[in-house]
Amino acid sequence: MTKVRSTTVLAIVHNGEVAIGADGQATMGNYVAKSNVRKIRKLLDGKIVTGFAGSTADAFTLLERFEEKLNAYKGNMKRASIELAKDWRMDRYLRRLEAMMVVTDGEEALIISGTGDVLEPDNGVAAIGSGAMYAQSAALALKKHATHLTAEEMVREGLTIAADTCIYTNHNLVIENVKPSEN
């Protein structure tokens, strides 16, 4: 799997709700280049929400390709994800891209990687980036012991814990609640 540093993206499916969020830090080497980057993007008029980690230019290339796949497969997120992962793995140009994505349609969350993986994570917690393990661990504990919290509150707390722990993650958070599509 591509080693992706310099951000944390977390999506949680909990009690019929889905939220996705990311920090805003961009680093270049060992210094902070920008602290308020928006790493969450809405596609198909907000029906699909994505978060990305890794090289920004690579991530935008993948976002464009993913949106093309979504349009080709009439908004079917899972099918579009699989087709993107196949292209990403087999295409000589795309294979060199260093980024990962979390995508959600308001019902489920998937992780898409450049190794051809499309993962539907256990327990409804999807995390990528340098602070992923911190955010994921916090989210799993919250889902188990703080079930009264909303998905958005869990994402906020998981990202806050990652930002407190991971030097490549900051506290400038963008969090989106994602509603299931009516289609």
What residues are annotated to the active site?
Answer: 7
The first and second tokens of residue 120, run together, are 């539907």
**CB 70 within 8 Å of CB 116:** no
Torsion of CA 50, 54, 57, 60, to 10 degrees: -10
At what angle are helices 77-90 and 56-72 packed, to 10 degrees? 130
At what angle are helices 132-145 and 151-165 packed, to 10 degrees? 140
Contacts of 56 (CB under 8 A, 6+ apart): 26, 37
